[in-house]
Structure 1
Amino acid sequence: MGTFIFIIIVIVGLIVLSSVMESNRRKKFNIPGKGKKIRYYEGYNKPLQRKIYYWSDGKNICFCNSKSQTGDPLRITIPKSDIIGFAQIGDLTTSTSVKGGGTSLSGAAGGALLFGPVGAIVGGRKKVKSTTTTKDTRQVVLNFKEDGVEKAMLLDNLIYKDLTLSCAGKLIR
């Protein structure tokens, strides 16, 4: 029992430590509380990490590396007026597999002995188990201008809703 409690204390301690480190990182990098961590896939020619912070300050879309290797992390600020457009690519698919069902002779016999014909019907039915699997491959392509040059970034789908709210007129369908 003591080992179990020790393991729980260690896990809770690691979670608290991680949360404190995240809070300190946000303060150090000057990232607002509304900044969200999203995944950056590719497309921008500066050294962005796979996990970056994203937020909007009203006039700009801002990105910042989630960790700094040395010095201050890379920050990218894109004025909303420089956004050419954005689009969602990929699919959200859901599939369900069903196993089981059919008849069970032993269940029908046991049900019949205990509850008669109705018990035979209910007891003769095998359990049905269904499993639902969801696969989300959606990503967002963000096209923008930087110093007069068209650029693009491939980002996590988590940014899509925020972009549709803040840059609705630039959604490419």
Structure 2
Amino acid sequence: MEEIVNKIAESSLEVFDLEDYFPGEHVVELDISQWLLEGFILKEKEFRQQLKDFDWSIYQDKYVGITCSTDAILPAWTFALIAVYLKPIVLKVIHGTKEQVVEEWYKDILAKTDYSPFQDKPVILKGCSKKEVPQSVYTLAIQKLMPFARSIMFGEACSAVPLYKRTR
């Protein structure tokens, strides 16, 4: 009987897995409706006092998206004022949802990543995620990999879809 050889394991194929960079608990959403009267009405004096009394330390070293889950009509300065309280303790604050904050996290991480290990190699951009990696991040990742990789496929080694091949 002939020995089964794992040709994928023996190849120079490299896997780029975006789940390796998933932020987990580092990304949170802050819903400001908690400080609005009945979740809809901003009373400035009370709002400012609630922000002043709030324990902001729960957001220490996090990426925070400020959002409002209700259809409240808010003054333009509302989100900016909350950012004033967050900025000294967070890694980053944006006006947006948790998914938008995850995208920001990936933008920052992928901008700092060293892609030289993928130089002139075939790469698989792993696509079967257990975690919710936003689709936009795959678009960003392939752009970061293209200057380095010889070729890029999407998916798993057993069923990869070719996306890019460097021309000679």
Q: What TM-score comes out, normalization by structure 1 length? A: 0.17
1 or 2, which has the higher helix percentage?
A: 2
Highest relative contact order (Cα 8 Å, sep 6+), 1 or 2?
2
Question: Which of the pair has more CA radius of gyration?
Answer: 1
1 or 2, which has the higher strand percentage?
A: 1
